[in-house]
Structure 1
Amino acid sequence: MIVILAIFSVSCQKGDHDHPSDPEILTRTYPADVLKEWIKLDLQLLRSNDAKLNNFVMVHHWAYSSIALYEALVPGMPSFKSLSGQLNEMPSMPVATHNQTYHWPTCANTVLAAMTRKFYHDSITQGGKDSITLLEETLNKNYQTEVDATVFGRSKAFGTEVADRIFKWALSDGFVASHPPYMIPSGDGQWQRTPPGLLAPQRLYWGLNRPLMAGSVKATQLPPPPAYSSDPKSAFYGFAKEVYDLRNGINSDGQAQVLFWRDVPGGGHAHWLSIFLQVLNQEGSRAMLDKAALVFAKMGITQSDARVSCWKAKYGHNLLRPVTYINAMIAPQKNWNSFITTPNHPEYPSAHSSFSAPAAAILSQAFGDNYAFTDHSYDFLMLPARSYKSFSDAAVEAGNSRVIGGLHYRFSVTAGNQLGEGIANYMNQHIRFKISE
């Protein structure tokens, strides 16, 4: 690798990516096929026995891989600029040599292969690792027939250098940090382990991770939830009673919604990644690499910061789940439970809403507010596909499913929407992808 980098002169200086290396061969020349193939593999790994992945590992990989892809392609996108200097503590990026040709699909293939391999190294079996190598080599064989060896090597070297720098940056964000043991707070209204597994709280310190957008977490923290009360006349009791009644009266369509947005295996982030892939497929020949990489990066960044902000709020407020309150105050001795298993983390705000809102916002900005689609994410589980008139309709259903399924109070879904929309708005206000913005 050192030899390749020396031969093809990938600069180690921070530079201006405002101009392409070759104005005749731009990123927009190519279809989004390479990204689609890597998203497809990512989803397959999340759903297979070749990996032990979860929401946290997945969104961490998505966020940094999407930034790396964007940085590997932005020299071929003359209207766009690097995110270095804009994202939180992001290092300088290598500079594509001016007046030299790059094959942007090769850059993309190299950076996505490297990032997937680096992030999933400890979480996948040898079979999973082999699938990464197979996809990378298959695409490279095709690309070697499209360009000469010099261009191919230069492109691989550039993608490799971008991946190395982005991954090194990722290692410092708190994902691998050690933390002291956590004592679960006790008292009225405090979160307790939930049935049936009574599992320990999940990823307690995730809210301390470095956000990708400096200031985004502080800007999107929420007001306190409604005051806890056991009084049957209180607002809090009313919210819990709504959950109890909806769960007990759930009909077949409600059950279908809850199961569809259960998002097991893979998690909520993977569901929206699957929707993005389906949109790219629906776009057909209109899906070009530059736009796909841009949307992929915007989604990855906002999903990651929404996760950090959501987790900071969850453990900051540490509110009990409906299942705990209902069994204590509304239906004692009935062993009441949610329609699907309540996740093992505090109530407020709803994570599904916190992730769905920014995903819907980014996709709507890119493809339109009234983009109709049919979601086939869970065909492999034999769950019927669901059709939506817009991305926001899908996000609303995702949140509502958690109320009718007995997992969340409605105010937590509303708060999650507020947080997620705030993250998307923060990106629009503070991060500049286009030179003219």
Structure 2
Amino acid sequence: MSKKIQGAFFLFLFLSIANFSCQKEVSEDLLQEKNAATANKAGVNGHLQQTKTFSSEVITKWLDMQLAMFRIPLPAGTGTQATDRAMAYCGIAAYEAVVNGMPAYQSLEGQLTDFPEMPKTEPGKAYHWAASANAALAEMSRKLFPTTAAANKTAMDNLESSLNATYATEVNDATLQRSIAFGKEVATRVFAWAATDGSANVNPPYVPPVGWGLWVPTAATPPVNPYAYQRRLLVPGSSNNTDIELLPTFSTDPTSAFYAIVKEIYDVSKTLTAEQKAMADYFKDAPGYGAGGTYVAAFVQALNIVDFSLDKAALAYAKIGLAQHDATIILFVRKYIYNIMRPVTYIRLYIDPAWSTYIPTPNHPEFPSGHATITGGALTMMSNVFGEKFPMTLHTYDYLGYAPRSYSTFTQMGLDIANSRIYGGIHYRLTCERSIMQGKKVAENILSTIKFLKE
């Protein structure tokens, strides 16, 4: 496939994402205005101040706090949390902590898989919704990151206290304490639900199947996430119709289609430009923020650009978290069904025994691509939230000395993320192209299933 055709494919794909997202955004905005007007006129919930009157600062500050806890390498003796779990459950808790101050919106009760009943606010009583979100995110962060570094635990306490000190100057103590108690109760229920999602299951060491063309572990460490099928998808039906076309049949014949997709990776590796290397380095995760951290960092930076109110930020948090979470589970389930061999294994066996990838190969099967699948899901949601045309410059890895990367659309960002795995030598081009489509479908399923707005 020529570079022009490859570029056209990705452009078509992401424009379709943008079109879907923009249509959804326009219809949602119109419905929101209608429902909000009706709800406000009726005095729904009777609360004195709506969520939209607060800034999104509480959410951006807690996301920044969590990014610090995702950062790899971790201090010795500490641990972190899977990015997709933290993003999803914290996003849900933040949304539930403030949705009662959003007259046009509704709780996710009865919509997410096995989701518990959420606490109810007191009609006619005032709530400081930023304080509720602060309490919920502080509680969720402590529970999700129990083995983080001592400095991070102190930073969490300080952040919560600092925000509450500000809120204490804005409302009376009764309102502040009522709001904090509500947020904490939301987090308690969300975390209890999260604890039953299967991620803590104890399983025997995974032994990969052995056979012609099958994946061979690429590191001495345990395979990554082989029991993903035991984890709970948060949105019913999010995996519907997400099967994607498989790669060509495995073959070592130099005239075969499979050999051709491997040979492309080998040939590309021999002529990598400085820009291609920079792209591979920027999105390789380690050192950095770990798998999925790219989207958390991009989300925070986008929020800082648009200066959303708290209601929009909480809604965006929930949407992006749900897409990232379910896309991660779906892609890992498929990886261990197909067990496709990585380029490094094939090339060393059949082309060049001395060959090495530009970046380390993750220790899990090749197909589908984690980066590309999550890109399809997360960027579909970001287009839905912020719009496809969204100029931004990523400063995610300024602290590592990497040059900032600028984009005018989420399409451009997605191209970089997908292509970075090709230049890194760890994924076939067809895998990246098809995996983006899988993630896109996951996000579309979520957007068509979950009803955030009241009907």
**Structure 2 length as normaliser, TM-score?**
0.87
1:44 maps to what in 2?
Answer: 68
2:369 maps to what in 1?
Answer: 350
1:213 maps to what in 2?
Answer: 235
How far apart are 1:126 and its partner, in Å?
A: 2.2
Q: Distance in 2 between matches of 1:19 and 1:413?
A: 49
Q: How does 1:276-425 map to 2 (within 5 A)?
A: 276-284=299-307, 287-331=308-352, 333=353, 335-425=354-444
Give the counterpart letter for 1:211 in structure 2: L
Q: Distance in 1 between matches of 2:120 and 2:244?
A: 40
Contact 1:20–1:75 (Cα < 8 Å) also in 2: no
Q: Does 1:165 align with 2:184?
A: no
1:28 maps to what in 2?
Answer: 52
Contact 2:52–2:309 (Cα < 8 Å) also in 1: yes
How far apart are 1:295 and its partner, in Å?
A: 0.6
Q: Does 1:270 align with 2:270?
A: no
Q: Distance in 1 between matches of 2:79 and 2:270?
A: 33
Give the counterpart letter for 1:79 in structure 2: A
How far apart are 1:181 and its partner, in Å?
A: 3.2
Percent of paired sites with the same residue: 36
How far apart are 1:373 and its partner, in Å?
A: 0.8
Select which of 136, 154, 162 maps to 1:130.
Answer: 154
Distance 1:52 1:417, change over 3 A: farther
Contact 2:58–2:130 (Cα < 8 Å) also in 1: yes
Give the counterpart letter for 2:293 in structure 1: A
Give the counterpart letter for 1:238 in structure 2: A
Give the counterpart letter for 1:239 in structure 2: I
Q: Distance in 2 between matches of 1:203 and 1:365?
A: 29
1:224 maps to what in 2?
Answer: 246
Q: Distance in 2 between matches of 1:355 and 1:207?
A: 17
How far apart are 1:267 and its partner, in Å?
A: 2.1
Contact 2:48–2:125 (Cα < 8 Å) also in 1: no
Contact 1:246–1:405 (Cα < 8 Å) also in 2: no
Q: Distance in 2 between matches of 1:53 and 1:242?
A: 38
How far apart are 1:187 and its partner, in Å?
A: 1.0
1:190 maps to what in 2?
Answer: 214
Query: Equivalent residue of 2:390, what SS?
Result: coil
Distance 1:151 1:341, change over 3 A: same
How far apart are 1:337 and its partner, in Å?
A: 1.2
Contact 1:255–1:405 (Cα < 8 Å) also in 2: yes
Give the counterpart letter for 1:156 in structure 2: I
Distance 1:311 1:52, change over 3 A: farther
Of residues 299-308 and 427-436 in structure 1, the stretch that sits farther from structure 2 once superposed is 427-436
Contact 1:370–1:390 (Cα < 8 Å) also in 2: yes
Q: Distance in 2 between matches of 1:304 and 1:229?
A: 34
Q: Does 1:239 align with 2:264?
A: no
1:152 maps to what in 2?
Answer: 176
Give the counterpart letter for 1:138 in structure 2: S
Distance 1:208 1:156, change over 3 A: same
Give the counterpart letter for 1:226 in structure 2: P
Q: Does 1:111 align with 2:136?
A: yes
- Which structure has more relative contact order (CA 8 Å, sep 6+)? It is 2
1:176 maps to what in 2?
Answer: 200
Query: Equivalent residue of 1:371, what SS?
Result: strand
Q: Distance in 1 between matches of 2:213 and 2:78?
A: 34
Query: Equivalent residue of 1:372, what SS?
Result: strand
Contact 1:19–1:77 (Cα < 8 Å) also in 2: no
Give the counterpart letter for 2:303 in structure 1: L
Calculate the aligned-residue CA RMSD, in Å: 1.7
Q: Distance in 2 between matches of 1:305 and 1:29?
A: 31
Distance 1:19 1:318, change over 3 A: farther
Distance 1:433 1:19, change over 3 A: farther
Select which of 142, 156, 159 maps to 2:166.
Answer: 142
1:76 maps to what in 2?
Answer: 101
Give the counterpart letter for 1:301 in structure 2: L
Give the counterpart letter for 2:266 in structure 1: Y
Q: Which runs of 5+ in 2 are unaligned?
A: 1-38
Q: Distance in 2 between matches of 1:387 and 1:251?
A: 18
Q: Distance in 1 between matches of 2:229 and 2:289?
A: 21
Q: Distance in 2 between matches of 1:97 and 1:226?
A: 60
Cα-to-partner distance string for 1:282-309 (whole Å, 9 max, x where unaligned): 113xx11100110110000110000000
Give the counterpart letter for 1:317 in structure 2: Y
After TM superposition, the runs of 4+ consecutive aligned structure 1 residues lying more than 3 A away are: 18-24, 48-54, 221-224
Q: Distance in 2 between matches of 1:327 and 1:270?
A: 31
Distance 1:19 1:402, change over 3 A: farther
Query: Equivalent residue of 2:371, what SS?
Result: helix
Q: Distance in 1 between matches of 2:43 and 2:135?
A: 22
Q: Distance in 1 between matches of 2:43 and 2:333?
A: 39
Contact 2:422–2:429 (Cα < 8 Å) also in 1: yes
Contact 2:343–2:426 (Cα < 8 Å) also in 1: yes
Q: Distance in 2 between matches of 1:238 and 1:225?
A: 11
Query: Equivalent residue of 2:272, what SS?
Result: coil
Q: Distance in 2 between matches of 1:190 and 1:135?
A: 48
Contact 2:205–2:222 (Cα < 8 Å) also in 1: no
How far apart are 1:53 and its partner, in Å?
A: 4.6
Give the counterpart letter for 2:119 in structure 1: P
Give the counterpart letter for 2:422 in structure 1: V
